[in-house]
Structure 1
Amino acid sequence: MANTTRSRAAARTALVVSLATMLAGTAATSASAASVVPVTNPAFIQPYVNPDNASEFVRVTLGSNAIHGWRLGSNAIPGWRVVLGSVDVFGRATSRTPDGSQAVDLGGSERGGIEQTIATEEDAEEQVTFKAKINDHPDCVSGARDIAQEFHVQFAADPEHAQRFELGSIAKPARGSSTWTLRRATLWGTDRFSRLQFISDTNHACGPLITDVKVIERP
């Protein structure tokens, strides 16, 4: 009888170990299935902006304008294209990013938007993460305190699944929006390549700020 009891106990132990091994293997397989999708210039460190001058910025337009003596077109931000209106690239002093990177104001002289083409698989789940905050530039504080700062993230070929973000206003920021906060959008690959877009919904020169864009793909 004792031998039978020990045999049953040993069998149960073996079963538990086997199940644990299977679960660990499944978790490892799931983790390995996720892959990082390269994003060019994710923290907008180019074009370079003086990190010590809070009044300096680089304006990039859909067309081509002379701003502060520079002639800039829609491709002046490496990796990104302006697809709507205009945007501003802020340096460290203006954006006050925690890691010293730069940021994009999605409203330059008007409502703006940017995009980057990234490698994806059709119908794969694309986890887009980025940091965002309301635009508290001194000019915005004095002139746009009550204007809602909103934007959406989408793949250009799939606007129906766009994900919208509302940061409140400078006067009444939404929870966490007055400091850099990690945000997440889940999109679905539209083809071998998808055009990732950040589009302001704020019809004003002071748009939301974004930086540190990353993408993880889960087939």
Structure 2
Amino acid sequence: MSFSRARLAAVALLVAGATAVAVPAQAAGGHRALSRFDDGSFESPKVPANSFTELTAGQSIGPWRVTSGSVDLIGAGFWQAAEGDQSVDLNGSNTGAVAQTFTTVPGATYSVTYALAGNPAAAPAVKTGRVLVDGQDFQDFSFDITGKTPAAMGYVGRQLSFVAQGASTTLTFASTTTGAAGPVVDDVQVKECKPCCG
């Protein structure tokens, strides 16, 4: 496929909020929690420019791990990133998911923000997926690729918050779209809320 290499300088993020309370963490599959959430822009490892790498369940993208199916790690210039150079298509050759486990303070509230788009190369027009916290569905999402292009992906911002129940928490982004062109995620940020955080 041939894609334009042009990139937009700025991305307008629209915020849609959702709040829920996490249940105790389930088994993390032997993965140690990071001391803090890291690499929310999927910048490591670097993928050759204008290309992508498919990763399957059990493989890692820096601190993230592919927990099911397959995903594509998109390199610089292949299409527009929301932040940095790289992003993740949650569908590789099939429906996939990525997760990261990091340390948390039990009882503390955390805010999660992320940029959402969709692979514009193929149907379906509406890409769907969900965000899970410790295995529990916290937010379903959808993105319509109509009118979007590799140079203008149309990223939108999404937000949710959770109350940590344990010393570590696992955050998962999972596609619910069939096929090889799924929702695209980038610029994931996790911050502990102070008393004023809403």
TM-score between the two structures when normalised by the length of structure 2: 0.71
Equivalent residue letter for 1:132? L
Could you report, residue by residue, the CA deviation over 1:38-68 in whole angstroms, capped at 9, with x for unpaired residues? Answer: 32222111221122x2xx2111001xxxxxx
Aligned counterpart, 1:149: 127
Aligned residue for 2:166? 191
The aligned counterpart of 2:101 is: 117
Where do residues 46-125 of structure 1 align in structure 2 (5 Å cutoff)?
46-51=44-49, 53=50, 56-62=51-57, 74-125=58-109
1:67: which partner in 2? none
Task: Give the Cα–Cα distance (whole angstroms) in 2 for the partners of residues 135 and 207 of structure 1.
Answer: 6
- Partner residue in 2 for 1:201: 176
Aligned partner letter, 2:53: V
CA distance in 2, matches of 1:49, 1:87: 13
- Give the aligned length: 157
Percent identity over the alignment? 30
CA distance in 2, matches of 1:172, 1:189: 39
The answer to whether the Cα contact below 8 Å between 2:130 and 2:173 also exists between their aligned partners in 1 is yes
* Residue 194 of structure 1, CA deviation: 0.6
Instruction: Report the AA paired with residue 47 of structure 1.
Output: P
Distance 2:127 2:37 in 1: 25
Following TM superposition, by how much is the alpha carbon of 1:178 offset from its aligned partner in structure 2, in angstroms? 4.3
1:150-165 aligned at under 5 Å gives the runs: 150-157=128-135, 159-160=136-137, 162-165=138-141
- The structure-2 alpha-carbon separation of the partners of 1:57 and 1:100, relative to structure 1 and needing over 3 Å to count, comes to same
Equivalences for residues 6-45 of structure 1 within 5 A: 38-45=36-43
Secondary structure at 1:165 match in 2: strand
Q: Secondary structure at the match of 2:170?
A: strand
For the Cα contact (< 8 Å) 1:90–1:102, is it kept in 2? Answer: yes
Could you list the structure 1 runs, at least 4 aligned residues long, displaced by more than 6 angstroms after superposition: none
Tell me if structure 2 keeps the 8 A contact 1:80–1:116. Answer: yes
Length-normalised TM-score, structure 1: 0.65
Can you give the 5+ residue segments of structure 2 that lack an aligned partner in the other structure? Answer: 1-34
Q: CA deviation at 1:185?
A: 1.6
Aligned to 2:77, the other structure's residue is in SS state: helix
Per the alignment, in what secondary structure is the counterpart of residue 95 of structure 1? coil
For 1:210 and 1:186, locate their aligned partners in 2 and report how far apart those are by CA, in whole Å.
17
Q: Select the structure of larger CA radius of gyration.
A: 1
